[in-house]
Structures are given as C-alpha cells and as structure tokens.
Amino acid sequence: NAGVTQTPKFRILKIGQSMTLQCAQDMNHNYMYWYRQDPGMGLKLIYYSVGAGITDKGEVPNGYNVSRSTTEDFPLRLELAAPSQTSVYFCASSDPTDSAGGYTFGSGTRLTVV
C-alpha cells in the first residue's frame, strides 16, 4: 500500500517555464489537497478536490491550476513559474466517510525557481 505518491522529489525551473507536479493515491480517497510549505508560514492550501471532476480554490491559488480526471490522480500545474513559487509542495488525501479523519501526506516536491 503506497499511500500518496508525489513526483518529482526535486525540480529546478527557470522563470517562465511550466511544469506539472504529480500526485497519486491508492486508498480510494475522494478528498485530495495541495499545500505549499514555506519557512515560518506553515502549510497553505492551494487547491483541493472532493472528487473526480470537482476542484476548488484554497487560500493561495494564484499561479496554479489543477485537474481531477480520476479518483487516484490530482496533478498541480504551474504555467509561468515565478521565484515566489519556490517552495515545498505537499499533496494529501483524506477519506470523506471518516468525518474525524486526518490526512495522509505524500513526501513532498521541493521546487526552486531561478
């Protein structure tokens, strides 16, 4: 049981480039989330999804896009990378049938924009 898998683990982008951060879970969780982690700022929610075909903005969605075509996958896309997007990105999932449930996190993607 792999849980939540994120790829790549590390990436360096040049300003203006685009990329997709991949996230996949094998727990059949309908709820999935993308957070970014910046020093001293904790985790900020970028986007979340409550099921295939349904996504919604979190606190800091600007500069990002998401899609959810299947229950398993929830990719995060950066269209025009900016230095402000240098961060560690975490994907997480949760089971909506467990109202007291927490999250299962992936191991993160460390992104540097130069």
Partner 1 sequence: AQSVAQPEDQVNVAEGNPLTVKCTYSVSGNPYLFWYVQYPNRGLQFLLKYITGDNLVKGSYGFEAEFNKSQTSFHLKKPSALVSDSALYFCAVRRRGILTGGGNKLTFGTGTQLKVEL
Choose among 18, 16, 26: nearest CA to 6.
26
Instruction: Tell me whether residue 31 or residue 64 sits nearer to partner 1 (CB atom).
Output: 31
Pairing of strands 76-78, 109-113: unpaired
Q: How far is the CB of 15 from partner 1 (least distance, A)?
A: 25
Which residues bind to partner 1, rule: CB under 8 A?
4, 31, 33, 35, 40-43, 45, 48-50, 56, 58, 90, 92, 94, 96, 99-108
Instruction: Tell me whether residue 59 or residue 79 sits nearer to partner 1 (CB atom).
Output: 59
Choose among 103, 85, 99, 108: nearest CA to 16.
85
Instruction: Tell me whether residue 17 or residue 27 sits nearer to partner 1 (CB atom).
Output: 27
Tokens of 58: 């979190």
